[in-house]
Structure formats: structure tokens, C-alpha cells
Structure 1
Amino acid sequence: MTADTTPPAAPSAMQADTAPAFAAALPWVGLVGLLFFINYGSRAMLAPLLLSIEADLGLDHAQATRLLFLMACGFTVSLAASAFLLSRVTPRRMAAFSCMATGAVLMGMAAVRDHATARYMFVLMGLAAGLYFPAGMATLGTLARQRDWGKAVSIHELGPNLSFVAVPLLAEAGLRVTDWRGVLLAVGVAGMLTGIVFAWVGRGGRTSAEPPSIRGFTGVLRSPLTWLFAWLLAMGVAGEYAVFSVLPLHLVDGMGLEPSTANGLLAASRVITPFAALAGGWVADRMGARRTIAACLALTGTALLAMAVPSAAVVTAGMTVQGAMTAFIFPAIFKELARCWPAGYQPTVLCIATPASSLLGTGAAPALLGLVGQTWSFGAGFALLGLLALASIIPLRLLPPEPGR
């Protein structure tokens, strides 16, 4: 018997709108967003502390950066397993556990004294943090009505976007009064307390997902929509991570700017991202998620092409637009996912699409930009990524038509 590759029908409007009005749900949506901030910020905090960790443990650059790779491996494995775990544990409990476990691992990291132990702790960090995202999204989906889903996701997406601004500042401030161990200990305690508070007073996410049967899992795996969402998420992650990582090299080596000037421009170009994440949800609810995704891809592609122009002013404008569109597109993508797949299947879709997008966005995309940068120029790499963004508009026709549009 062949598996059905058509996704199950999404819940009806009546079923999807049993949640309270958005104003009433906002405090609880915000609490889930705080969990995401702690989850993402806990992982992001390790990057600005890596030089201090490297010096204290006597590591070289390759060994230090390999720790981040090990964390990514643990994160991917945990994401892939989450759909199966969510059939036995409610999303609310898993989200709270992930936050508490992440905090506990950070507290354990503060006691690390050698490279071998650090490797195990970084893997554990990835495993603990990877449990959050599908559980958090499933919890969020029970708090907001379908018509308000874009706004709810935009509040949730403030977590990583605020982390881009807050984490480097918090790390620098922490290192002024203590060492990296003290910073990780403080962040770990904050994570533990946040998880406990959410487990105590948080709402939503009280229903376990359907167990992923072979037929259901195969159907999700073979559906073109699953891989379309994986690709769209990969484009967003590539813009969020790969472009951000390579831009300092491009500005210094390619544009001839001073490192301090390059870092200042990069930071300034990302200040707008939290506001863009908020606006993205409201626009997706008003204009429609599919149209919003198409517009974001068009503007992202244009901005990346502009970043290949050898002009500091043009590159700066392109950086700003590209950063804003990266934050803007995620609420629309998740709104479409919620429209195309019923809540019981969404964790399965996420456990397939999210690891795939992570490998593409944080692995393949930086490698591609580095290879093109070494062979030709980083500007050529940005132009290639821009063309991929523009080409990604074409498969959007696979998405089912939005009602009333």
C-alpha cells in the first residue's frame, strides 16, 4: 500500500477559532516567547564567550569552533526525535522541561575543566535546547486563533531577534564583573527559573500530538509541502545565520573597512529586526501569508544582489533590508504551516523540516558563501544567494489558495 502524500485537511475555521481573543491570549503568548528567548539566547551566549572558554581550557580555534558543531549535532538529533516524544509528553511540559534542562546544562558547563568534558556538555546543550521548538510552536498554536496566528508567531519570533541585540551586550557586561563561568551560571539559573514558572502558570499545549504512524510519517515525508517549508525555513536561516556570519569578512576584506566600523554597521543593520519580526505577523494576517512570503523573498533577493555592489552605501542599505526581511518572513512561513497542516501533524512536519533547514542554513549556506568568496568574492556569493531567494518564489504556487483571496 502506498502512503498518501496529500496532507490531512486543516482544522475548520470554527475549530481553529476556539482560542480566546488575541488581547486575552497576549500574556500567555508572551510567556512562550520568553521561553524562546531563553532557549535561543542560551545557545547564542556561547558564541561571544567562546574566546574566553578557549583561553581557559587551552583550546585552539579549531577545537573551540568544533564545540559549536557538536552542539548543532545534538540540536538536530533532538529536533528529529521531538515528534515521537510529543506523542507521549504534552507540548507544554516538554517546552518547560527543555528550558529547565538547558539551564541545568549551562550550570554544569560552568564547572567544566577540560576539553573532553566540554565536548559532552556541548552535545547535551544541543539535545536539551532542541526539544523546545516543536513543543513551543505546538503550545503557541493552542493559544491564538487562526486569524491571529501571524501575530502570535511574530511575538514568539522576538525571542531570537532580541537575542541578536541583547546577548552580546549581556555577555560583555557579565565579563566585566565575572568570568565566563559566572556568566553561564547566571544564565543557567535564569533558564531554570523561567522553566519552573512556565510549568507552574503557563497555559496551552495540554494535548499530546498524535503518535506518528508509519503511514502518517511517510505521508508527511513524501508531501511536497513539507520540503517546501524546509526550503523556505532554510532560506530564512541562511539569511539569519550565514549572511550574518560572513558579512564582517566581506566588509573588512572586500570593502576595505576597519573592523570596528564593520561591526558597527553590522550591529546597526540588525537593530530593526525585532520590529520587523513584530510587523511580519501583522502583515501576514492582513495581506495573507503567501503574498507576504513572496514579497519577502523578492526584497531579500534584491537586497542580496545590492550587497554585491562595491559601494559602502549600497551594501549598508542592502544589509538593512536583508536583515529586516529575514525577521519579517518567519511569521508568515509558520502561519502557512499552521494553515496547511492540522495541529496533530505539525510536530511531525517540524521534526523533518527544521533539521533539514538547519543543515542547509547553518551548514551548506556558510560553506557555499565561503567557497564562492575564496574562489571569486563574497559579493558574488551574496548575489548567488539572492538569485536563489528570487527563484524560491516559483514553488510558492504549490501552496493551496488562501480562502477569500
Structure 2
Amino acid sequence: MERYTNFRGQALLFLLFLWFIWFINFSVRMVFSPILPIIEDEFLVTHARASSIFIFLSAGYALGVIVSGLFSGKIGYKKSIVCALAMISMVAFLIPLAHNFFLLYLFAFVVGFSVGLYVPSVIPLITEYYSEKNWGKAIAIHDTGAAAGILATPLIALFLLNFFPWRGIFVVFACVFLVCSVVFLFVSTEVRTSNPPKTTLKDIIKIRSLWLMAVLWIFSMGANLGIYSIVPLYLTKELNLTIGYANTVLGISRLGSVVVAVACGFLIDRFDLRKVMFLVMIVTSVLVVMMGVVSVKYIGIILFLQASCVTGFFPIGLVALAKTFNREMRGLATGIILAVSNIFGSGITPYLLGISGDLHSFRLGITILGIFVGLASTLVFHLRELE
């Protein structure tokens, strides 16, 4: 197929539609965070048990990205994305029926799995639709959908809670996903790759940079979604703020993330990719540590700065993946790294922070996480493929 060489007309509209799909994918995955205090109170569970929902979300996501990485290129990226959107719509309709906490685990797993099918399909799709010189900008613009989702989700939840109980939020999401699946079916063109050789998976897992980037992604994901997931609990249960105020602070703290994500997309086309990645991670490390030690009156400012900074890592990381792996390996490599980083970064990290909150304080866990982010940032300079 002929690739788009600019961002005008149909090229821009298609990219914006992909952006919206990523936005709602990320939103439905993260909506558990702003309503977690309500769920915790309704089901009478501990911080750790409530936070363990994110383990099931992440485990499902990890399985989804692996499955998508293995098979989406063969069956077609369009079919994979339509299937993912339809599955999310179905499970979102079912979540309001859950009156047992274990059912929430099951539904969270399926939501994570369905969202996981999307990314390994859309990144190769973008690299097929747009010329290589525009990959950085296209991927960065698309990735701001996640940043916007993180920003908007608590505000959307707060708004919808004025009209529905927390269960009704998922019905709204279900309707939106149903519409998007139908629209995408008609406006997109199928893209497939040739069947990768049988040694592809074996070859990929032997690549040193795969695991170096996996570690970078784990701690960046932990500093982003890991912290995001427990912030409402941290603010309401430990700092004694109201849930409305906590979700407002959580949403506002993400205002700068969209701008930073786009800016990084343009910076990586002009500056050394590794240096930009290191700078983002080391500054994030400092801000995460500060989040664990500053007084309550400064927490909003630190949250804003930290959330804005850490978001810049992900468009950089996705471009690094695209440049490190060839066309046949790209989807699977993306799937492996996203799987590992989501299990540990956005699944186990909030669970460990929840345990820290139960046994001592959220502050201690957040501070330790910040230190590890700083240590991990030094691995950037061992990514030889990006020299």
C-alpha cells in the first residue's frame, strides 16, 4: 500500500481516529483507579486486595499483547483491532452484573486481555500507513491518546458518577467501544505481514536490548500507571482528602502529559534517542522520590510535574522499539516488552504499593520505587542498536 508522507486530509483523520481508539482503550483500563475507593468500600476489602485488581488487568494485558504479537500479523491487523474493540464492549456490558469481588478479577483480566490485543496491532499498522521519516511524529501523536486518557479518566469518572453509580460508567464505555468497532471495520484497510520464520521468537528473546528495554519499561510503567493506580487510595486513605478532590488532583496532574508526549516525539527526530530517554527517566526518578517525602500542600504540584515527565518515556520507547526490530519482529517484540512491563510495572507495582500502605505507608513504597527508577535509567546507554 502507498504510505502517507504528511499529516493532511485523510492521513490526519485516520491518525486522529486511531488516537481516539487508543484514548478509550486506555481509559477503560484505567477507570478502575478513580473508582477504587468506592469499590473498596462496597466490597469491604483491604488496600492490597483492592489494588490487586490491577494485577489481573496487567496479566490479561500481558497475555493479550503476546497473543497479538504472535498472530495479528498473520490474521491481519484490522481484524485484530476490530476483535479487540468488540471484546471490550462485551465485557464492559457484563461488569455491572458483578456482585462478587472475584468476578471483578475475571472481568478485569478480560478487559486487560482485550486492550492488550490493540497495541501490537496498531504500531505495525502505523508504520505501514506512514512513511518512516514520520514514524516518530505519528507514534508520538498516537501515544498521546494514553496520556489524554490518564488525564481525562478521573474527570470522566467524576462527571459520570453524578448521573450513574460506578457500574453505569462501564455501560457508557461499552456503547462507545461498540460504535468504534463498527466504524473501524469500514474505514480501515487490512494490512498483513508475511509469515515470520519459526525462529523469530527464539531469535528475539536472545537479543540483549529486548531485555534491557523491558527493564526500562517496567520501571517507567511503574512510575506512571503503577503510581496512578494507587493515587486515589493514597490521597483519600492516607492523606485524608475527599474522593472528589483526589480525582480532581489526579486528573489535573496529567494536564502537562499530552504536551510532553508530543514534544518528545519531535525531540527524538532531532536529538540522540538514548540521551532524551535517560533525561526523562532520571528527572522522573527525582520527582517520584519527592512525591513520597513532600508535605500534603505540595503533593498536587509534584504529581503534575511527575506525571508530565514520565509520560515522555513512552513515545520514545515505542520509537526505540520500531528502530531496533525489523518489520517481521516488530509486533512480537512490542508484545513481549509490553507484556513484561505491564505485569511488573502496572500490575505488581500497585499491589506492592498497596501492601506498603497496609503495613507501613504509601509514602515509603513510592520513595523506594523512585530510587529504582533512577538506577534503571543507566541501562539506556547499553542499547547499542540506538547508537
TM tier relative to shorter chain: 0.7 to 0.9
Q: In the alignment, which residue of structure 2 is the partner of 1:344?
A: 328
Q: In the alignment, which residue of structure 1 is the partner of 2:136?
A: 150
Counterpart residue identity of residue 240, structure 1: N
Identity %: 22
Q: In the alignment, which residue of structure 2 is the partner of 1:183?
A: 169
Deviations 1:326-384 (A, max 9, x none): 11111111111111111221111122211111122123433554566677765454443
Q: Retained in 2: the 8 A contact 1:87–1:212?
A: no
Counterpart residue identity of residue 347, structure 2: G
Deviates more, 1:58-67 or 1:143-152: 58-67
Provide closer, same or farther for how the CA distance between residues 212 and 223 of structure 1 changes in structure 2, counting only shifts above 3 A.
same
Q: In the alignment, which residue of structure 2 is the partner of 1:306?
A: 290
Deviates more, 1:352-361 or 1:273-282: 273-282
* Structure 1 residue 80 displacement after superposition: 2.0
Q: Paired residue for 2:252, among 247, 263, 268? A: 268
Q: In the alignment, which residue of structure 2 is the partner of 1:207?
A: 192
**Alpha-carbon separation, structure 2, partners of 1:122 and 1:252:** 23
* Structure 1 residue 218 displacement after superposition: 1.3
Deviates more, 1:108-117 or 1:183-192: 108-117
**Alpha-carbon separation, structure 1, partners of 2:355 and 2:164:** 39
Q: In the alignment, which residue of structure 2 is the partner of 1:397?
A: 381
* Structure 1 residue 147 displacement after superposition: 2.5
Higher RCO (CA-CA < 8 Å; seq separation 6+): 2
**Alpha-carbon separation, structure 1, partners of 2:54 and 2:299:** 29
Verify: 1:224 aligned to 2:192, yes or no. Answer: no
Q: Which runs of no fewer than 5 residues in structure 2 stay unpaired?
A: none
Counterpart residue identity of residue 60, structure 1: L
Q: In the alignment, which residue of structure 2 is the partner of 1:12?
A: none
Q: Paired residue for 2:87, among 101, 115, 130? A: 101
* Structure 1 residue 183 displacement after superposition: 3.2
Q: In the alignment, which residue of structure 2 is the partner of 1:129?
A: 115
Verify: 1:160 aligned to 2:161, yes or no. Answer: no
Provide closer, same or farther for how the CA distance between residues 316 and 226 of structure 1 changes in structure 2, counting only shifts above 3 A.
same
Q: In the alignment, which residue of structure 2 is the partner of 1:335?
A: 319
* Structure 1 residue 271 displacement after superposition: 1.8
Verify: 1:286 aligned to 2:299, yes or no. Answer: no
* Structure 1 residue 299 displacement after superposition: 1.3
* Structure 1 residue 184 displacement after superposition: 2.2
Deviations 1:7-61 (A, max 9, x none): xxxxxxxx9x954223453222221111111212222234445566678xx7432
Q: Retained in 1: the 8 A contact 2:152–2:251?
A: no
Counterpart residue identity of residue 22, structure 1: F
Q: In the alignment, which residue of structure 2 is the partner of 1:30?
A: 16
Q: Secondary structure at the match of 1:80?
A: helix
Q: Which runs of no fewer than 5 residues in structure 1 stay unpaired?
A: 1-14
Deviations 1:70-106 (A, max 9, x none): 3433222222222222243111221122112211221
Q: In the alignment, which residue of structure 2 is the partner of 1:172?
A: 158
**Alpha-carbon separation, structure 2, partners of 1:64 and 1:378:** 14
RMSD of the TM alignment (CA)? Answer: 3.3
Q: Secondary structure at the match of 1:242?
A: helix
Q: Retained in 2: the 8 A contact 1:100–1:193?
A: no
**Alpha-carbon separation, structure 2, partners of 1:152 and 1:385:** 31
Q: How many residue pairs end up in the alignment?
A: 383
Provide closer, same or farther for how the CA distance between residues 208 and 101 of structure 1 changes in structure 2, counting only shifts above 3 A.
farther
Provide closer, same or farther for how the CA distance between residues 53 and 78 of structure 1 changes in structure 2, counting only shifts above 3 A.
same
**Alpha-carbon separation, structure 2, partners of 1:152 and 1:238:** 25
Provide closer, same or farther for how the CA distance between residues 361 and 120 of structure 1 changes in structure 2, counting only shifts above 3 A.
closer
Q: Secondary structure at the match of 2:311?
A: helix
**Alpha-carbon separation, structure 2, partners of 1:184 and 1:144:** 34
Provide closer, same or farther for how the CA distance between residues 181 and 380 of structure 1 changes in structure 2, counting only shifts above 3 A.
closer
In our comparison, the structure showing a higher alpha carbon Rg is 1
**Alpha-carbon separation, structure 1, partners of 2:35 and 2:353:** 25
Q: Retained in 2: the 8 A contact 1:87–1:209?
A: yes
Deviates more, 1:188-197 or 1:276-285: 276-285
Verify: 1:74 aligned to 2:60, yes or no. Answer: yes
Q: Retained in 2: the 8 A contact 1:28–1:143?
A: no
Counterpart residue identity of residue 399, structure 1: L
Q: Paired residue for 2:6, among 21, 38, 43? A: 21
Deviates more, 1:369-378 or 1:88-97: 369-378
* Structure 1 residue 287 displacement after superposition: 2.0
Q: Retained in 1: the 8 A contact 2:58–2:347?
A: no
Deviations 1:214-238 (A, max 9, x none): x221111121111122112212211
**Alpha-carbon separation, structure 2, partners of 1:375 and 1:137:** 41
Q: Secondary structure at the match of 2:75?
A: coil
* Structure 1 residue 300 displacement after superposition: 1.1
Deviates more, 1:324-333 or 1:372-381: 372-381
Deviates more, 1:217-226 or 1:153-162: 153-162
